[in-house]
Structures are given as C-alpha cells and as structure tokens.
Structure 1
Amino acid sequence: MRRAIELADRGMGSTSPNPVVGCVVLDPSGRVVGEGWHQRAGGPHAEVHALAEAGEDARGATVVVTLEPCAHTGRTGPCAEALVEAGVARVVVAVPDPTERASGGAARLRGAGVDVTVGLLEEEAARGNAPWLTAQRLGRPWVHWKYAATLDGRIAAADGSSRWITSAESRADVHRLRARCDAVLVGAGTARLDDPHLAVRKTEGAVQPLRVVLDTDARVVRPGARVLDQAAPTLVAVAEDADAGQLADHTELLRLPRAAGGRGLDLAALLAALHTREVTSVLLEGGPTLAGAFVRAGLVDQVTGYLAPVLLGEGPGALTDAGIQTLSQALRLDVTDTERIGPDLRITATPRGVPAEEENR
C-alpha cells in the first residue's frame, strides 16, 4: 500500500478535478506484476494502467489501491468492472470513496465474489489525497498557506525590503508547490508591492495553475501587470460594487460580496466560486493580512514555512490579525515534515482539529 501511495503522488497537479490514485497488482505468490497511477484527468485510472501491465497475471491476483475503485461510467469506464473482468481474487483499499456518484465499487466487487478489505493505511493515503477529499467532503478547495520568513519570524525588514530572505533553492521549491496546486492566490498588498508573476517555472511537465488576485476595490491590478500575461490563466476577484472597468478587456473578473464586518472579500464565497470551477487546491501566497483572514476564518488546511537562518529584529511578521488574542486561542499545528532546502529549513504542518469527514456530518 505504501508503494501505491507513492505512485499516487506522481499524479499530483495533473489529475484535478479527479483524485490521485495509485495501484499495485500482486500475483498469487506475492510478486508485483503491475503498477499504475492516475496520470491525468480524463485518462485511464490507476487500476486500468496496473491491470494492463499485469496482463494475464492479474487473474487470481491481489490488487492494492489507494482509493475505492469507482463503480460508475464517466469519461472512463468503471474500474470495479475492469477488476471483475480481469479475474482478480482480492482487492485491498485504503480510502473508501466519499462521493455518491463513484462509490459502490467495493459492493460491486463483493457481489462478484471478490474478497475486499477497506481501511489499510487509510489515514496515510488520505493525507496524500487531501485536496480532492476536502473538495468532496466540504465543498471547497483545500488551502495550503506558504510563507518565507527569517528565524525570528520576519517576512521583510523594517524598511520593507524582502528580496531575498530565503535561498534560491527554497524559491525553486515553491515552484514545485505551485505545480501541485490548481490555483495560486495572493492579495492586493502582495500584488502592489511585488507585482508577482505566480506562474510555474522550471518544472517539467507542470500544468499551469490558475492565478488568483484578490483586489477588493479594483485599485491595484492594472493592465501590464505581470500576472496578466499569457503564461497562465488569471482571475481577479473584486467586490460586487467595485469599478473594475479598466480590467474588463484584460482578464476574467470574479465579483464577490465584501466580508461581513471587515475589510476584504468574503473568503467562503471565494472558495465556493473556485470550487464551482473545479479548483480542488489553492496555494495561498499572500501576505500576513490575507493569511490572517484565512486563519481567522478557519480555512487553512496546511502550512509550509521556509525559515532562513537570518535575524532581523524588526519588520512585519508572517501572520497578522488572525483573531488570536491569547495563548489559549493559538492555532496548534502538527508537524508532518521537516527538510533542509539549501541553507533554509522547510517545515510543513497541519492544524489540529476535527477531521474533515466529521465536520461534514
């Protein structure tokens, strides 16, 4: 199953709005005779790739797959039926399919006499499929907040200079994160100060994410901004009552209600609108104010911080106005990964809290 999880990860960034799935086929002696993963939306599923590689050796085999095989016909046929026709004897599943449309594969297999086990390494496999599972269970994209800071938590010096706090290696790694997400999001502050490009560079085979800029009053993004070039699609979100005529001929506009009782846009409405566009994952690259708004709204699912061995002593911090007034209100995180990236340290963590499937009940 861990091998299947590794295979599934190869599809991250290219299968949306579908899940990432990995599959391994073992013959009756336990020998691996087929492997596969879902490579792109609309293409063959992981089970189909693995069965094709296994050929006749799939008869009587055990199939190990990270997500319950689908039981419906979409752009491809039902994987449960393909497994039955291949004559497999056993299927081991990590995560049951939470969707009404595609679930039922386990029942179809059992009905055909196939031995089915569900739940092996479920938590580990679910982490690898968090964007798709979040979109299915909560009806919104999975949000991954990324920031770069000094060891004392500053994202810029007192004079506002910030290029570059972290190393070239860390900045290259950010492009890897972008390539794994459907959308990259910044706010007006970042757009005004940095004129960011937000496209993926130097990442072979990357599918360019949707670039999203929150420009509430339509005062920051102007024709000629780097984010409006043709390198990737761009969406500028503005308030319903904002005068954005100067952008009408240059990019797609998304009009949203203003946030209740505060500045900015309604973030729940933003994520709902992105969900309708089949965006399952968002990389939040905005500054401390936008990050604070997402944290305050409980809309951050993963955090990655690039920490440079640098001290500034003064300057803006990575997070502001998150609605946290005392230590007891702190958002506690569980560290899931740490890695040296050049001279920097990359820390990845997830907020502690109720699992997504419990929240949706």
Structure 2
Amino acid sequence: MSAATPEDLRWLDAAVRLATPHLGTTADNPTSAALVVDPRDQTLVARAVTARGGRPHAEAIALEAAGFEAAGCTLYTTIEPCHHWGRTPPCVDTIIRSGIMRVVIGTSDIRHAGEGLLRLESAGVEAIVANHAPSAKLHSGYLQRLSKSRPLVTLALTVSADDRIVDVATGAAASWLDQLRARSDAILIGAATARRTNTDLTIRTPGLETRTPLRVVLAGASGVDRRLNLIGGFSGYRTAIIAESDAALDAPASVEVLRVAGKSGRPDLTAALTALAEKGIQNLLVEPGPRLAAALLEADLVDHVALLTAGEATGGAAASPDGKFTAVLDAAGLYAISAETIQRDTLTLYRRPA
C-alpha cells in the first residue's frame, strides 16, 4: 500500500473543513465528507457530506453527483467507507461500480476492521489509509462512542474574572456557546442548574435555531420540576431526563426518561453517559454547575473543556469548590491547547492527553 501524498493530505484537509459545520446532524453515523477529484489536473468533480439523520452517506451522494465523470478519479473520504448492508447499501460496492480508481481514507472505522479496504483492493481499486489527524479529530466522538461506550464529553464553562460560573451568556459569549451547541448531538445540564436558570437550552443565533440538539437533564436526589421550561415548556425540541433507577420522577409523556443505576437517588455518571451512547450520542456538550463539573472531572469523564473567562468580575452562581477553575483543570490532567480573545473575554480550550 502506497503512502498518501501532500496533495492527498490537502484534499483531506478540505474534506474535514467541509464536514465540520455539519457535526451534530448525522445521528449515530459519522459526519463524513467525500470529494471526487480528477487526478489529471487536480480538479474537484463532486463533493458531499453525509445527509442529515445519517443517510445517505457522503460517498454515495458524491458519486451520484459525479455520475460518469467519477470513472478514473480519486475519492477522498474522511473515514473508511462502509462495506456492509445496514440502513443503506454498502458504500464500498457503490465505489467499485462507479469506476473510481483510487480511494484515500482519512481514518479507519473500527466497525469495519479493514474489510472495506480488502474489498476495494480485490476489485482493483487502490486504497490508502492516510492516518490523517484532522480526520481522526473530526470523528473522535463517533469512534469514542464505539470504543468506550460513551460520548466525547466537552464541558462549556463561562466564568467571571472572580472565578464564578456565569449562568447566562450574552453577546459574543452567547454566539460562541450556540456554535458549540449546534455541533453537538446533545446538551446535558444538571437539575440544580436547570432550576436556578430555568433555561430552555435552545439555540438563538439566526439561522442555527433548527440545530438545537437533544436537551438532557440529569436528575438529582430531589428530582426535576416539571414546571421548568426544559420539561414543561413547548419549544418543539426533544428533551430527555436521566434518572436513577428507583428515584421518583414526575415528567410529562413528551419527555423521554432514561433510567440508569445510581445511589441515593442520583444517577451514576458513567451509566448516564453509556445510556446516551446507546442512543447514538457521539458529541455531548455539558453546561454544568460547579458540583456537576467537579464530579465529571473527578470521575475522569471529561475530554475537552471550553473555558470562557469574562474580563470583569460579574459574579455568578458559585465558585469552584476546589479553587480556581484553571487549577482544577490542571489537577484533572487537562492541558490548554489554545487561547483567543473574544471582545473583552478570553476563550481557552483544554483537552485530555492522547
């Protein structure tokens, strides 16, 4: 098997850029992109992203758009094409029939264990896995759901300069949070924060409203008040409650209830995340209060943190019980990978070591 060329990597970079804005829209399928490229002059013939809801897959859409022009071309795809019958026909068979001569794959799909590559090669199609880091990052939530039975967890925290959680993001911070919500499959919030803020967890940025994902409330020992906007409101968006198996719960029929193991009326966090993974949730955004943030970090269940620090000491719900949030993140083994200024605020991104 030959190695990917610099041109291959540039096309895969382009495929990742195409797919990224669609994260959160493909249900339990990877948010993949496919490009059909004429190798003679390196021109783009067709491109596609996996459709909303997860099907058709990107490869099938791109090859249908290319039609007869696909013959002799190279197909770039961010993740290994499927080779089995499921809710869609095998993409590998579609590739072979199209006349594609070469397939460059960003990252492997652990469901397929290389079977798709073997079928392509047996049909005379050159297949290369580029081990492309941006493709692996794009599909990290999908792959983690399969390998660890839990979603990729991102904490979104907005804190004031005096290190207190700010419950309501405004201005640039609100737009930043909406972008995170739009690229997530679900948003999780604790019952205490839901009571304190009475938020509806919807996306308000014009043009993104329909991207509001599944909204999830983690019930505590005192349950969840059905009068809250999230529970009893009529937003039109899906809502679920995760509750301990034997805890009393008063919820309307329109709200899905996930029962998991727990203790003293509180759901076990690992069990809660497993339940979400079983629903196909790949990328989970958590907007926690101090207690839930500390519990997730202590349980080693946090993969990324987006920490927005306000430029002013505006106060907030509560401070971290263990000191400054940056120190808490350091103690949890997460490290800063980037920082940028948003108006007068500072956004710092943290991640778990690979």
The interval holding the TM-score normalised by the smaller chain is: 0.7 to 0.9
Q: 1:105-124 alignment to 2 at 5 Å?
A: 105-121=116-132, 123-124=133-134
Partner amino acid, structure 2, of 1:139: S
Q: Tell me which residue corresponds to 1:340.
A: 341
| Inter-CA distance 10–52: structure 2 relative to 1 (3 Å threshold) | farther
Q: Tell me which residue corresponds to 2:18.
A: 7
| Match 1:242 to one of 238, 241, 247 | 247
Does the Cα contact within 8 Å between 1:293 and 1:321 map onto a contact in 2? no
SS for the counterpart of 1:300 is coil
Deviation, 1:60, is: 1.1
Q: Distance in 2 between matches of 1:109 and 1:253?
A: 43
Q: 1:217-232 alignment to 2 at 5 Å?
A: 217-219=221-223, 221-228=224-231, 229-231=233-235, 232=237
Q: Distance in 1 between matches of 2:43 and 2:167?
A: 52
Point out the more displaced range, 54-63 or 196-205.
Answer: 196-205
| Inter-CA distance 177–315: structure 2 relative to 1 (3 Å threshold) | closer
- Any idea what the Cα deviations from partners look like across 1:235-280, whole Å, max 9, x if unmatched? 2223333222x33556333333324xx8842111111111222222
SS for the counterpart of 2:157 is strand
Q: Tell me which residue corresponds to 1:26.
A: 37
SS for the counterpart of 2:143 is helix
- Any idea what the Cα deviations from partners look like across 1:7-29, whole Å, max 9, x if unmatched? 12132111021001111222131
Deviation, 1:76, is: 1.7
- The gaps in structure 2 that reach 5 residues or longer are 1-11
**Identical aligned residues as a percent:** 32
Does the Cα contact within 8 Å between 1:179 and 1:203 map onto a contact in 2? no
Could you say what the CA RMSD is over the residues aligned between the two structures, in angstroms?
A: 2.7
Q: Distance in 2 between matches of 1:225 and 1:141?
A: 26
Does the Cα contact within 8 Å between 2:35 and 2:77 map onto a contact in 1? yes
- Any idea what the Cα deviations from partners look like across 1:269-316, whole Å, max 9, x if unmatched? 111111222222211111011011111111111111111111369983
SS for the counterpart of 1:237 is strand
Q: 1:74 and 2:79 equivalent? A: no
Q: 1:29-178 alignment to 2 at 5 Å?
A: 29=40, 30-100=42-112, 104-121=115-132, 123-155=133-165, 162=166, 167-178=170-181
Q: 1:197 and 2:209 equivalent? A: no
| Inter-CA distance 191–163: structure 2 relative to 1 (3 Å threshold) | closer
SS for the counterpart of 1:247 is coil
Normalised TM-score (structure 1): 0.84
Q: Tell me which residue corresponds to 1:308.
A: 310
Q: Distance in 1 between matches of 2:179 and 2:32?
A: 20
Does the Cα contact within 8 Å between 1:223 and 1:250 map onto a contact in 2? no
| Inter-CA distance 310–303: structure 2 relative to 1 (3 Å threshold) | same
Q: Distance in 1 between matches of 2:109 and 2:54?
A: 18
Deviation, 1:61, is: 1.0
| Inter-CA distance 338–49: structure 2 relative to 1 (3 Å threshold) | farther
| Inter-CA distance 146–104: structure 2 relative to 1 (3 Å threshold) | same
- The gaps in structure 1 that reach 5 residues or longer are 156-161, 356-361
Normalised TM-score (structure 2): 0.86
Q: Distance in 2 between matches of 1:75 and 1:179?
A: 25
Deviation, 1:88, is: 1.2
Q: Distance in 1 between matches of 2:21 and 2:229?
A: 30
Q: Distance in 2 between matches of 1:253 and 1:338?
A: 38
